Amino acid sequence: MKLIAAMAFCAVFLLGPMPADSSAASDDAGTQAVKCQLPPQIRRLGRQATYLAAGRIISTTAADCRVRGGQSRAMATASPPPPAAADGRMAVMVGGSADAAACPVSGKIIGLKGGSTLSVRAGPGTQHARLDRLANGRGIHVCDGTPDEAWLGIVYPRSPGQDCGVDAPMNEAQAYAGACAVGWVNAGWVQTDAAR
């Protein structure tokens, strides 16, 4: 066994690195960093109650996301961090692509217990002021996110049927300034749909 291992080592050492070929280039998509929503998890509450918790959103490679059973999708993220408005709010950036919607991912609020609500905040973090509260099932547009995907910048209608103007592409990334409500929410309570 040691002889076989030694021969393999010598072969690799003598041959040196293999030249890159076109098939390796086609696998680059699997190694690109993506935002991956993991599958929902079953959690236990006490001895008898179980519930389905929303899958976390993480940054990983497309290949790793597939192995974990997750769904990967492109989401615009602000880089550098979004600018603050005069009132201290952190802007939610939209657009930046001619090929995708200004807010490429839609979703809804899920997993809240009882009559609780999810706080919409002026920036990504609990230190920012609360702007609104959203209940389970509320539809949103996911437009932006922090690098660790813990907080998502969202746009959502103030009234049923309101058009937020984020379904069409926008070439230039810009702070959302439309008629709909805007803010930041904890990503753990958001279930996202396929990219548009």
- pLDDT of the residue at 51: 60
Mean pLDDT, range 84-107, rounded to an integer: 83
Cα(29)–Cα(192) distance, integer angstroms: 22
- pLDDT of the residue at 53: 63
- pLDDT of the residue at 194: 59
Residue of 178 and 67 predicted with greater confidence: 178
| pLDDT above 60 for 82 | no
Per residue in 127-183, pLDDT (tens digit) is 999 999 999 999 999 999 988 889 999 999 999 889 999 999 998 889 999 999 999
Closest CA to 58 of 73, 41, 76: 73
Least confident of 14-18, 42-46, 87-91, 153-157: 14-18
Tell me the average pLDDT of the chain.
Answer: 75
Residue of 171 and 195 predicted with greater confidence: 171
DSSP letters for the chain: -HHHHHHHHHHHHHH-SPPP-HHHHHTHHHHSEEEEEPPPEEEEETTTEEEEEPPPEEEEEHHHHHHTT-EEE-----SSPPPBPTTSPBPPEE--BSSS-SS-EEEEE----TT--EEEESSSSTTSPEEEEE-TT-EEEEEEE-TTSSEEEEEE-SSTT---S-SS-BSS-EE--SSSEEEEEEGGGEEEEEE-
Are 33 and 16 spatial neighbours (Cβ–Cβ below 8 Å)?
Answer: no
Residue of 4 and 132 predicted with greater confidence: 132
Cα(146)–Cα(81) distance, integer angstroms: 8
- pLDDT of the residue at 147: 84
Q: What are phi and psi of 68, to 5 degrees?
A: -80, -5
Cα(72)–Cα(57) distance, integer angstroms: 9
Cα(184)–Cα(119) distance, integer angstroms: 8
Cα(110)–Cα(73) distance, integer angstroms: 19
- pLDDT of the residue at 62: 73
The band of 195, judged by pLDDT with boundaries at 50, 70 and 90, is: low
pTM, to two decimals: 0.59
Least confident of 21-35, 58-72, 83-97, 123-137: 21-35
The band of 49, judged by pLDDT with boundaries at 50, 70 and 90, is: low
| pLDDT above 70 for 23 | no
